[in-house]
Amino acid sequence: MKTLGTVQSHTKYLWFDTKKRKEFIRITDDVQKFLNETGLKDGFILVSAMHITAGVYVNDWENGLINDIDAWLEKLAPEDPNYQHHKTGEDNGDAHLKRILINHQVTIPITDGKLDLGPWEQIFYAEFDGQRKKRVILKALGI
């Protein structure tokens, strides 16, 4: 083990004003820009959706795959007026379930000042009940 320096913590929020109920937004460049601002060379970045009807995931940036993910989620958690949640006056039961399937956060390693993603990996924000202001927290820890 070698001593590398003092651990630092940095936080930033990304805000979204989505135009549609469902959107898949590539945020890799925003996360890398934040990393550049921190000056960190080694560590991790947590990327977490701060809404219970949105998620964050890592996968390929290819329209066919994004459409497949959307269709898969719709098959597993379809828009349906019969969710128990809708008895509370809400209409977004499917969005809560889709968030569970996608997950709400990812942790990305930082190596040599860059996001250490695989060759085709990209970071996405997935919105399932949009058309209002939403946010993602970026929390970087490292040296």
H helix or E strand, kind and range, residue 70: helix 63-76
Q: Looking at per-residue confidence, does 4 or 50 come out higher?
A: 50
Give the span between the Cα atoms of 9 and 89, in whole angstroms.
Answer: 40
What is the extent of the structural domain holding 22? 8-78+90-142
User: pLDDT band for position 2 (50/70/90)?
Assistant: low
Q: Is residue 12 part of a domain?
A: yes
Q: Is 20 exposed, middle or buried (0-12, 13-18, 19+ CB in 10 A)?
A: exposed
Q: Is residue 36 part of a domain?
A: yes
What mean pLDDT do residues 8-32 have? 96
For the chain, percent of residues with pLDDT exceeding 90 = 94
Q: Is residue 85 part of a domain?
A: no
Q: Which of 58, 74, 48 is nearest to 26 (CA)?
A: 58
Q: Which of 61, 63, 39, 58 is nearest to 47 (CA)?
A: 58
Angle made by CA atoms 41, 32, 108, in degrees to the nearest 5? 70
Give the span between the Cα atoms of 29 and 89, in whole angstroms.
Answer: 38
Q: Is residue 14 part of a domain?
A: yes
Q: Is residue 115 part of a domain?
A: yes
Q: Is residue 1 part of a domain?
A: no
Q: Is residue 83 part of a domain?
A: no
Q: Residue count of the chain, please give it.
A: 143
Structural domain count of the chain: 1
Q: Is residue 84 part of a domain?
A: no
**129: CATH:** 2.60.120.460
Q: With a threshold of 0.85, does the pTM exceed it?
A: yes
Complete edge-to-edge strand list for the sheet that includes strand 114-115: 8-17, 133-142, 42-49, 105-111, 114-115
Burial 105-125 (b: 16+ CB within 10 A, else e): ebebebeeeebeeeeeebbbb
The 10s digit of each residue's pLDDT in 75-123 is 999 998 799 999 999 999 999 999 999 999 999 999 999 999 999 999 9
